[in-house]
Structure 1
């Protein structure tokens, strides 16, 4: 009888252990009290590198090919307002918007979108929320007869209204004559449904997302987002738009990502401008653009997934380029939630680094590659924005122009012209200079080198930063192999989160979470990779890992679950061999030092 009881207990224990492992495979994460449930994630590709331009079909393909040939990452490409009338450079009012767009500049949009898709690039186009009557009489009358306009009025603003293109040059022969404009009623469900049907064919051809201009009203953002969500060929449920920074009257705006910092000036600051700008261009240059992310007095600093026109949008009343400004701007942009490169059509470089200088080309490639390698880190913090309510770009009290990118990386943008060093005030704790490996004590001021190729970056001592191998787009890349960069010297933990990247299953708690912790004790470091909790469609059970240890102390031995793990060293960096492990089992790495 005693043996039977022991056998029964043993079987129950085995069953419990099996059930526990099985639970990890099927676990659905609950919504916690600290979650910001208004936050909706854009698709994973939005966290790569995106581009916009005023190109026609032939130029779009050429631009994309040039980006690829210069070894830049590219995840998405949108065509701005000339999508509707490229031949006339967006002069208007005809074509804005006729729901047909330019069929001469884009003779086969499906072919264009198909080409982008074949390169793992999402395609987007520009839209707004109104219809000009002149030249678009059929569409105007259609909406007017159905009662789908909120109001009509005579629009005399020259934007796409027979006068100017953007800010820089007056169109020859332009007039200030107005045209009747109908604002579509996006508070009317029937009007919204009809608008969607009129726009659907663009997505049937292969478009994926929209750049929304002129308004950021929540009802309009919602409709444009739902177009992408419902009809986008590759979205699989997740929508994506770009809208202006307005529309923050309620938290609902977070449901329709993303936004950008509006039309910025290609200048260092507005206090001491280097060039003149037209009066309509918002008073936001590089320094003010940084503040839009980090000044707690600005509502824009609360936006979860905020982007910017890398390099600035408006050149000013000049053809002058500023290579230094462009480089400093790109360095900052690569450490923001969403990266996009765009400029007004009068900028002949289109803010493409390879058209600016060989130095800009090299630096852009370096930082853009680093951005793509950091995807596991960045995407985890995108999820944590929803799960904890903490932004990816974390403010430091009293320091508007310095911030934490996640919890492990301190960033100090160089926003002063000609500067080759930067004064920084580091947060609490110890910090490692990313470029030199030098250790700095927190809560102190330092002046650090900042040559043109370097933005001051510091890594928190104890940091765990998951990275992956470079790929030209997020979807071409994979988390099948992760490189854990660790900076021993303090105890820490990192929550690595992944999902399928394109569905809304994560809103139901369907995603995978892996806790990774680092502890220092008795002259050694212990790195623990806990069993993955949760799952998502397409998850693989095994992963390759590599440990990359950044240490001023010489590493003498690595063990993985008690067995020797071979490694090599490159200066003060110690790199383990790759090892494969089941995601749903625990792995312990011990690091011994001389």
Structure 2
């Protein structure tokens, strides 16, 4: 491993003086005497790309991470030469490039330093493999904090940490373990309450050191490839996250059923066991939308086959499960069994689609089926072939989702747990070794799977979930955090991982509820369910080695808690669906760490437990056994205790008492929370009213409600409904205005409005400027029924 101390070795090479400068449209090229070129590209006024080469020319510019559909453009770009530096000005930033050594200084328009090079760009030749080990070091200021980098199992603030990005199968990983399954080389820095982001788009093994080895230095480096990074200026963390999410892309709307509760185990078989599980959910009235089939559904673990002893008629089974509201999701791994009688293997062999070693033979490795070859998903022709393999599963049998596992890629019984580094990849016409392709292998598999499922599920929307991912994978797939452990420590880890993934662009993520390895106590499982229902992806999954992990595997109290919280999630589906819409359209993370919510408050910079779910719900899980409550931090604003209705002011720590069947949940004042009736699965019920929980505030607040057909693509043709609710509370009155967009005809006719915290007795009610007569409106205490298409509700007090 390269250490930061090695960064100072005399073997390192540095840019020398600038010899020439040229501007071409949005880019400025700086050439040095020793053949280094720095290309600075202004993509937006607050988004600048820095790309270095040491060989006098740039290789082909190609990235799997960048969303090419995103348009870029700046308002202002000016290049000025000063005595000792060149200066690039945009409407939001000043970038100075030193004439003597190419060091970068970035400031805002008031010359406040945002980011500055320490050693800056430097490199050492990689004599083992060729090319360079490329390095960058920045000044780390006192009080500076760092966030992001995907699902790292460490404290949310990375100051003082070193992390490694190399996709690896890490069964039963532990706190602070590096590396893990995903590679998201993007971090957010926060200094003087101003936020910026760095996205180091390099798929080789990368490392980040946040002032661990040298107190005032943050550095990042890669074992090959280019020093190629994007600088994003906030100054709000929200601006940084949104810009990064636009840069690397967003998914399409998921079908609503994917936001329901999912049940999984390694493995549910035979068919009678699957039916026993699904029947029990319906019997106990615990809502559930998806049942998963792990590797044992296959014939000898051969992908795209069925074990006919366990599942004699999969099409019939899947159809009957669907009638009961269960969507079937099946696992597909990358390892293709070497078997001359296996049709998938024969096709790939005939077409030469498997990865090869440097000297020509196919890469061979052991996974579940035994000896396997592995498709090269970085080849577009292979991806097209792979997509076509899903026809039978999706079109004929009726499977609704596909789960990609072992795609780091994982290989058993070899020292590095993966491919040898000499394996060759097409890399979309940019041939390379596995050193470069390793970190994006899983993403390209998920991409090929997505393209196949989408093709054959049409006109419905696809559902893909992957274990391994690189930045940009969110365009194709959801994800989960891999093989965690049934422990209280892992409950803490899961909470942080979800917050971190959400601000790292990958919103549709969850953990294995209850833990994959080992067996949770009933209390741990209950506490994990209470947290997991507030994660975008919500699935119980276990290895089954230590016993069962269905909700009824524990006592009646756990069953009741599971039912209560899963039912709450189903009530909140319109709220969660709206969160997705904001994520997909505006790049807004669905889970917001407290530092994201209020970066001005230094108390939030090291908070790990509390998070904002959507825009108006504050969640704080119980992370210790035998808890009667917990201390937590309420951020800025006033908050209603969800269970008691008590209004509490924020920016302070407080003790919150909770029962076993509760966790601290608070609603931001002024928030309007939409709720559906509890359903056992999405689409089970036709209902005529939707509830709006309205929390009084003295002042203004906006809330949103997005709805469409819950599946399909008509929303792209304007057939959606997007309501903006503007709440305006005054001392003796409140006004709610609704502005609607879209052409979707909502199937229900009215809202049931529950008023919380109203400080006055209702005297008169006006709907769309007309006073409502007592005999024309249902009003009971603080509950009011109103036509869904109202434009203004005006309530005055006595």
Q: Same fold (TM over 0.5)?
A: yes
Q: Tell me, yes or no, if the aligned pair for 1:376 and 1:479 is still in contact at 8 Å.
A: no
Larger deviation, residues 399-408 vs 197-206: 197-206
Q: Per-residue CA shift, 1:516-559, capped at 9, x if unaligned?
A: 121112411112223x21124xx248621111011263533352
Displacement, 1:417?
A: 2.5
TM-score by length of 2: 0.59
> Aligned residue for 2:562?
364
> Aligned residue for 1:592?
796
> Aligned residue for 2:326?
121
User: What pairs up with 1:274-353 in 2 under 5 angstroms?
Assistant: 285-295=490-500, 301-315=504-518, 321-349=520-548, 351-353=549-551
Q: Tell me, yes or no, if the aligned pair for 1:427 and 1:442 is still in contact at 8 Å.
A: yes
Is residue 2:372 matched to residue 1:181? yes
- Measure, in 1, the Cα distance between the counterparts of 2:326 and 2:708: 20
In proportion to residue count, which structure has more strand?
Answer: 2
Quick one: structure 1 residues 302 and 347, their matched pair in 2 at CA, closer, same or farther if it must change by over 3 Å? farther
> Aligned residue for 1:78?
292
> Aligned residue for 1:166?
none
- Measure, in 1, the Cα distance between the counterparts of 2:547 and 2:260: 24
TM-score by length of 1: 0.79
Which of 449, 456, 462 is the matching residue for 1:231?
456
> Aligned residue for 2:407?
215
Which secondary structure state, in structure 2, belongs to the residue aligned with residue 61 of structure 1? helix
In proportion to residue count, which structure has more helix?
Answer: 1
- Measure, in 2, the Cα distance between the counterparts of 1:299 and 1:377: 17
> Aligned residue for 2:391?
200
User: What pairs up with 1:130-149 in 2 under 5 angstroms?
Assistant: 130-133=335-338, 139-149=344-354
Q: Per-residue CA shift, 1:359-404, capped at 9, x if unaligned?
A: 1100000011111111111111110012221111111112221100
Displacement, 1:470?
A: 1.3
Which of 458, 462, 465 is the matching residue for 1:242?
465
Quick one: structure 1 residues 324 and 540, their matched pair in 2 at CA, closer, same or farther if it must change by over 3 Å? closer
Q: Per-residue CA shift, 1:319-378, capped at 9, x if unaligned?
A: x541111111100001111211221122432x2111211111000000111111111111
> Aligned residue for 2:663?
455
- Measure, in 1, the Cα distance between the counterparts of 2:520 and 2:291: 23
User: What pairs up with 1:419-434 in 2 under 5 angstroms?
Assistant: 419-434=627-642
- Measure, in 2, the Cα distance between the counterparts of 1:299 and 1:380: 15
> Aligned residue for 2:648?
440
Q: Tell me, yes or no, if the aligned pair for 1:42 and 1:258 is still in contact at 8 Å.
A: no
- Measure, in 1, the Cα distance between the counterparts of 2:792 and 2:351: 67
> Aligned residue for 1:153?
363
Structure 1 stretches of 4+ with a deviation exceeding 6 A read: 31-35
Give the aligned CA root-mean-square deviation in angstroms: 2.5
- Measure, in 1, the Cα distance between the counterparts of 2:453 and 2:286: 26
Quick one: structure 1 residues 469 and 558, their matched pair in 2 at CA, closer, same or farther if it must change by over 3 Å? farther
- Measure, in 1, the Cα distance between the counterparts of 2:351 and 2:288: 41
Which of 563, 566, 571 is the matching residue for 1:373?
571
Between structure 1 and structure 2, the one with the greater Rg is 2
Displacement, 1:503?
A: 1.9
Q: Tell me, yes or no, if the aligned pair for 1:558 and 1:567 is still in contact at 8 Å.
A: no
Q: Tell me, yes or no, if the aligned pair for 1:480 and 1:544 is still in contact at 8 Å.
A: yes
Can you give the 5+ residue segments of structure 2 that lack an aligned partner in the other structure?
Answer: 1-70, 74-241, 357-361, 409-441, 596-604
User: What pairs up with 1:542-581 in 2 under 5 angstroms?
Assistant: 543-551=749-757, 553-557=759-763, 559-561=765-767, 562-564=771-773, 565-569=777-781, 574-576=782-784, 578-581=785-788
Quick one: structure 1 residues 258 and 478, their matched pair in 2 at CA, closer, same or farther if it must change by over 3 Å? farther
Q: Tell me, yes or no, if the aligned pair for 2:326 and 2:681 is still in contact at 8 Å.
A: yes
- Measure, in 1, the Cα distance between the counterparts of 2:72 and 2:793: 31
Q: Per-residue CA shift, 1:30-59, capped at 9, x if unaligned?
A: x99978453322211111111223122121
> Aligned residue for 1:165?
none
- Measure, in 2, the Cα distance between the counterparts of 1:474 and 1:46: 9
